[in-house]
Amino acid sequence: MTAGIGHPMETQGSGAPGAGGGAIGLDELDLSIVHALQIQPRAPWTLVGSVLEIDPVTAARRWARLRDVGAAWVDGYLSPAQEDMTWAQLEIAVNGARLMDVVRTLCDDAGVLSLKQTSGSRDLVALVQARDVDTLAEYVSERVCRVPGVQGARVHVITATPFEGSQWRLRSLDAGQRERLRQFDETRPAPGTPVTAEPLRPVERRIAVALGTDGRMPLAALAREVDASVATTRRALGRLLNSGRLALRCNLARPLTGWPVSAMYFASVPAEHLDATATALRTLPELRFCTMTAGPHNLFLDVWLRTLHDVHALEAHISRELGHLRLRVEERAVILRTFKHVGRVLDRHGHSVRSVPINTWK
């Protein structure tokens, strides 16, 4: 499949109001730092500075400026690509007069990863996590549907996640810089160390929750937070990262990326073509999140776009390129506002206001 209708970060500088109300502008260096942390979210500033050929103190100061106004942040969460948990997309119908009351309640809920207001036939779309299908059913009926103002919820159980946001990248670093960053691993296991799919241990659960607040939390501070030794914490973090169970993500407020419009496509494709379709969709620069679901639509696509017109232009591109796989985009919706994004409550400009760490065991 050819590239989509645009390439990320063609417009390198942009600005938007920060969490404190003032404007923040990004230059090439800011974007390079964010790109570096997308590749290695926990990279030390000495490495980032070396790769970017700047002083480590400068790199740290630049990052602190972005982080402090909520323009960029790093967090961790259990990856939806793993099978330890059950994930679902919820379409939530809400009494319009109670919308913001519902939003405030669900934003504070540790089981809601993301929450968006959309155009179209649903009011809110939420990404939620539960321990298993039974817990999911109870959570939706006894928690979500009992929130005052919620009129009902439709559940789409996620069966696979071909692409998620931690895999999305800016285009600020060259190939050599990207390779140098990939070589860093603070938890690299000894050669021959097996990666086992054993159940999550209590300390691993605590690490996942703690990194939801600050994905760059230093190892010593993380050890204190989870009440374990540094050595135990290092091993547990290594197990989580090397098994792919824990995803670390460096986020940049969407308006600052040059892709200010967000949309969702609800699509279907014959089951025998699902894998081939997912492989092709991964080449789309606009793609931020793709899930396979058990429901009336078996593909949910979350995309970032430059203009509202591109909602139809990208749909036409996808339909043209994947028509031979019988892909059908059956519905599309514009995201009117993202209230919560992977455990972060956002303001109207997409800046992080506070974190509500994802805690399925709470």
Rounded Cα distance between 355 and 151, Å, is 27
Q: Which two tokens stand for residue 192?
A: 């021959």
Q: What's the DSSP call for residue 197?
A: -
Q: Which two tokens stand for residue 86?
A: 């059950």
Q: Please report the pLDDT score of residue 199 as a whole number.
A: 82
Q: Please report the pLDDT score of residue 82 as a whole number.
A: 66
Rounded Cα distance between 187 and 205, Å, is 17
Rounded Cα distance between 97 and 119, Å, is 16
Q: Please report the pLDDT score of residue 195 as a whole number.
A: 46
Phi, psi of 181 (to 5 degrees): -70, -35
Residue with tokens 């179209």: 120
Are 78 and 246 in contact by the 8 Å Cβ rule? The answer is yes
List the domain boundaries for the chain.
14-79+167-185+211-252, 86-163+259-355
Q: Please report the pLDDT score of residue 10 as a whole number.
A: 34
Protein fold of 14-79+167-185+211-252: Arc Repressor Mutant, subunit A (1.10.10)
Q: Which of 290, 302, 298, 291 is nearest to 263 (CA)?
A: 302
Which regions of the chain are under pLDDT 50? 2, 6-22, 189-195
Residue with tokens 């031979």: 324
Phi, psi of 76 (to 5 degrees): -125, 155
Protein fold of 86-163+259-355: Alpha-Beta Plaits (3.30.70)
Q: Please report the pLDDT score of residue 244 as a whole number.
A: 86
223: helix, coil or strand? Answer: helix
